[in-house]
């Protein structure tokens, strides 16, 4: 029996094709950073992937064609159907799911390679074994962590931070246990390491992935998914080192490093550090916020007709969408409402907070789907100076990203997070189902301000009602 | 390939990854994350190699699942990224020409 590494492509043609493949990945990512070339960049990377797969299939000694073709076909069908069917609102959890299966694949490959090395019976060289252990652990963490992220975004698991007593301690213990077991396995590399212990580590890593993501609130999921994405990339690179496969090393590392940068950029947009996201458990500190929210504070509640009148006689209106719009699938109704206003000569713009929704760019995608012109979508820094000149700001399903506490209350858990300054507008209409707090789990002072009116309704219903009322005026 | 060469490749690729990502507009964060997500589906190659050389049922099963998972990661990842980008790259008028030529 030969080592899997021995199958490493030594043929010159294969190496050249692998170099072509990873070059295409680099070009693809580079193009993906500019709006005009992003779509093309994605295509280029996909072509690179096709080159890499076909090249690998042409390797000498590859057999089991039935299983290979069956696996590729099944994966293609599932991936294609899922991508076509998914609602635009479901994209964040879809990305989490794809990331998870990627991590799962890495962990499984590491296990299979370990079994293969055991079957050969000789000593497992450490330069193969260490990357195997690394990719097994990280792949497993990524698979289960992404699964939890998916569950939270899909609403299968509560999106609120889940706090268990002594959790940090348990996590630390698990991590130490995993590392210790890996050292034991590694030191046995010459004398046949135990497969039982290997599988135990696989399971412990799974528990670690679950326990680390579980306490993190839904609002931080984009950062978590991005981080897990980088992890999966690194584990793929490690698998590449174990398999002596250049294109795996390069592609995995690229994703690992670019994913790390992307994660930090996202965290910066939310004014949070990655460490803070992972260990602070956002919403764990609302004790103060809850106390102040406990006292009954008066809110002004209005109906669709009043809202329509306020809007129709305004000169400029800014719509601030958030996750509530996504959940209610309200983007088309919102566009319709804006259309009615524009017919009456009202200037309507949309203010997009960098982390509105569950992912950066989430709102842009949804509004673009509803055919809202690109130039009407204003970024936070462009729209905030306009706010004092805005007659009515309409907040649709957004919460934390408009909370003035981020600016005014240094003790707030979201203190310092940049917000859309809707309270600067002459009037504010908040369309929301209830006064319940957003994903950060804190009360929003905006709701109690004097120039704020609450329209308690489902976002889609409210937008449709207001549009009809404006039409009737 | 010896370990030193592999680590050299690893370090250089890490720097390339850091360098290509700079000043990404927030709008593109999600699509770019999704695209890099698809790229790590490259691990499907590992599945192909495992199954291609397997001689027992358990390895067949492990490798088969790895291929399915990896392929979902690749195909789903690229397609969903394409759908996302198709939504908002189409909109600006100046891009409409470039966009249609990219599709063909």
Nearest residue on chain B to A268, alpha-carbon basis = B26
Residues 6 or more apart in contact with residue A470 via CB below 8 angstroms: A308, A311, A312, A337, A340, A341, A344
Packing angle between helix A167-187 and helix A195-213, nearest 10 degrees? Answer: 150
Cβ-proximal residues to A281 (8 Å cutoff; 6+ apart), any chain: A161, A163, A215, A216, A217
Contact A359, B37 (CB under 8 A): no
Which residue in the set B20, B51, B103 is minimally distant from A258, CB to CB?
A: B20
Which residue bears the tokens 């669709």? A304
The answer to whether residue A102 neighbours chain B at the CB level (below 8 Å) is yes
Q: Is the separation of the CB atoms in A432 and A456 below 8 Å? A: yes
Catalytic site includes residue A400:
yes
The DSSP code sequence of A311-336 is: HHT-SEEEEEE-HHHHHTT-HHHHHH
**ipTM of the complex as predicted:** 0.86
SS3 assignment, position B97 = helix
- The backbone torsions φ and ψ at residue A316, rounded to the nearest 5 degrees and listed phi first, read -135, 135
- Tens of pLDDT along chain A (473 residues)? 455 555 555 578 888 999 999 999 999 999 999 888 899 999 999 999 999 999 999 887 888 899 999 999 999 999 999 999 888 778 888 999 999 999 999 999 999 999 988 888 778 889 899 999 999 999 999 999 999 999 988 888 876 777 777 788 888 999 999 999 999 999 988 888 888 999 999 999 999 999 999 888 777 788 899 999 999 999 999 999 999 999 999 999 999 999 999 888 888 776 677 877 777 654 443 333 333 444 457 788 888 888 898 898 889 999 999 888 887 888 899 999 999 999 988 999 999 887 777 676 778 878 888 888 878 888 888 889 989 999 999 999 888 888 888 888 877 777 777 888 888 889 899 988 877 776 666 778 888 888 888 888 888 888 999 999 888 88
User: CA A218, CA A327: separation in Å to the nearest integer?
Assistant: 14
Tokens coding B43: 């691990």
Those residues with Cβ within 8 angstroms of residue A434's Cβ, 6 or more apart along the chain or in another chain: A456
Helix, coil or strand: residue A304: helix
> Which A residues, 124 through 153, put their C-beta within 8 Å of a C-beta on chain B?
127
- Which residues of B fall within a CB distance of 8 Å from A254? 13, 16-17, 20, 36, 39
C-alpha distances out from residue A336 to A353, A372, A461, B80, B90, Å = 21, 10, 12, 27, 20
A298: its two tokens: 């008066």
Contact across the interface for A36 and B35, Cβ inside 8 Å: no
H/E segment holding residue A392: strand A392-396
Looking at residue A160, the DSSP 8-state letter turns out to be S
Residue B75's contacts (CB-CB under 8 Å, 6 or more residues apart) are A75, A76, A79, A80, A83, B41
Residues in B touching A232 (Cβ below 8 Å) = 37, 40
Residue A369 C-alpha, separation from nearest chain B C-alpha, in angstroms: 6
B61 touches chain A (CB under 8 A): no
Would you say domain A292-472 falls under CATH 3.40.50.1220?
yes
* A255 lies within 8 A of chain B by CB: yes
> Which of A443, A440, A444, A445 lies closest to A283, judged by CA?
A440
Q: Is A397's Cβ below 8 Å from some Cβ in B?
A: no
Domain limits, chain B: 39-87
Structure tokens, B82: 């394409």
Per-residue DSSP letter, A301: B
Q: Which of A400, A443, A458, A465 is catalytic?
A: A400
Hey, which residues does A350 pair with through a beta bridge? A319, A377
Q: Is the pTM of this model over 0.80?
A: no
């Amino acid at each position: 029996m030969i080592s899997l590494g021995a199958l490493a492509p030594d043929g010159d043609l294969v190496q050249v094709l692998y170099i072509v493949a990873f070059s295409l990945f680099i070009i693809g990512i580079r193009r993906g950073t500019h709006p005009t070339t992003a779509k093309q960049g994605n295509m280029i990377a996909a072509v690179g992937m096709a080159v890499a797969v076909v090249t690998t299939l042409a390797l000498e000694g590859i057999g089991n064609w039935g299983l290979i073709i069956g696996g590729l076909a099944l994966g293609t069908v599932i991936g294609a159907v899922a991508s076509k069917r998914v609602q635009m609102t479901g994209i964040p959890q879809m990305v989490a799911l794809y990331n998870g299966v990627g991590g799962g694949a890495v962990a499984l490959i590491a296990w299979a390679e370990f079994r293969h090395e055991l079957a050969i019976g000789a000593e497992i060289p450490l330069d193969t074994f260490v990357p195997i252990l690394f990719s097994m652990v990280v792949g497993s963490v990524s698979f289960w962590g992404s699964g939890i992220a998916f569950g939270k975004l899909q609403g299968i698991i509560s999106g609120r931070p889940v706090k268990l007593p002594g959790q940090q301690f348990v996590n630390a213990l698990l991590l130490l246990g995993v590392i210790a077991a890996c050292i034991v396995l590694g030191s046995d590399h010459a004398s046949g390491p135990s497969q039982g212990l290997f599988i135990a580590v696989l399971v412990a890593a799974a528990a670690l992935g679950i326990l680390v993501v579980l306490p993190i609130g839904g609002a931080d999921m984009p950062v978590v998914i991005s981080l897990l994405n980088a992890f999966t990339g690194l584990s793929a690179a490690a698998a590449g080192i174990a398999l002596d496969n250049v294109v795996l090393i390069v592609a995995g590392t690229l994703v690992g490093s670019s994913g790390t940068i992307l994660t930090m950029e996202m965290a910066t947009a939310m004014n949070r550090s990655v460490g803070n996201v992972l260990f602070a458990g956002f919403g764990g500190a609302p004790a103060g916020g809850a106390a102040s929210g406990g006292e009954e504070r008066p809110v002004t509640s209005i109906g669709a007709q009043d809202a329509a009148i306020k809007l129709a006689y305004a000169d400029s209106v800014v719509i601030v969408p958030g996750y509530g719009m996504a959940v209610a699938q309200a983007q088309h109704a919102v566009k319709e409402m804006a259309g009615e206003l524009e017919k009456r000569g009202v200037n309507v713009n949309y203010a997009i907070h960098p982390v509105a929704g569950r992912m950066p760019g989430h709102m842009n995608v949804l509004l673009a789907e509803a055919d809202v012109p690109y130039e009407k979508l204003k970024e936070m820094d462009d729209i905030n100076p306009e706010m004092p000149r805005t007659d009515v700001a309409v907040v649709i399903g957004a919460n934390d990203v408009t909370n003035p506490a981020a600016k005014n209350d240094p003790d707030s858990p979201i203190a310092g997070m940049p917000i859309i300054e809707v309270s600067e507008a002459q009037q504010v209409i908040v369309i929301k189902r209830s006064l319940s707090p957003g994903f950060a789990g804190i009360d929003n002072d905006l709701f109690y301000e004097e120039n704020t009116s609450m329209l308690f309704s489902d976002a889609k219903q409210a937008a449709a009602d207001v549009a009809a009322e404006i039409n009737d005026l | 390939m010896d370990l030193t060469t592999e680590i050299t490749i690893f370090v250089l690729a890490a720097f390339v990854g850091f360098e290509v990502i700079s000043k990404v507009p927030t709008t593109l964060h999600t699509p770019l994350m999704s695209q890099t997500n698809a790229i790590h589906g490259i691990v499907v190659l590992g599945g192909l190699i495992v199954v291609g050389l397997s001689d027992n049922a358990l390895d067949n099963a492990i490798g088969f699942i790895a291929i399915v998972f990896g392929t979902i990661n690749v195909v789903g990842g690229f397609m969903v990224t394409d759908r996302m980008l198709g939504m908002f790259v189409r909109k600006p008028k100046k891009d409409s020409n470039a966009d249609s030529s990219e599709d063909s």
